[in-house]
Amino acid sequence: MTTDASHAARVLYEPDDKLPPPLALGLGLQFAVLCLAGIVLTPAIVIRGGGGSESYLAWAVFAAVGISGVCTILQAVRLGRIGSGHVLVMGTSATFIAVCIAALARGGPGLMASLVVVSSLFQFLLSRRLSLLRRR
């Protein structure tokens, strides 16, 4: 068993401490590389599964990485009510892979994009009313 004194001696940084810039940069790069794989993999599965072209795959991966980056920045910066003020990676979700593949195969990129926009509206409505789910 360890005592509190020996445990405290091993802790280098407290949660609110600022990291030295080289360490923060290294950790940030590792985190970005780990998150990037999932952001790239989801559109690749959807486009390949739906029979999309190579050029469409390249565009979809570029769009997913760009939008995920902008949304992650918005989360970290916090502009008014938008964002958490913390580093929360916003990326793709594997939840809708099957629906997106079916939409892409049957109706093309237009149908898939329409379904993505409609499902995002539900997410916005839910986030607006999320405060109702808090315990009082």
In this predicted model, what pLDDT tens digit does every residue of 57-79 receive, in sequence order?
999 999 999 999 998 898 888 88
- Looking at residue 103, what is its pLDDT? 94
* pLDDT, mean of residues 121-126: 87
* pLDDT, mean of residues 121-127: 86
Count of Cβ atoms closer than 10 Å to residue 60 Cβ: 21
Burial-class residue 43 by CB neighbours within 10 Å (0-12, 13-18, 19+). Answer: buried
End-to-end CA, the chain: 39
- Looking at residue 68, what is its pLDDT? 92
pLDDT: which is higher, 30 or 1: 30
- Looking at residue 45, what is its pLDDT? 95
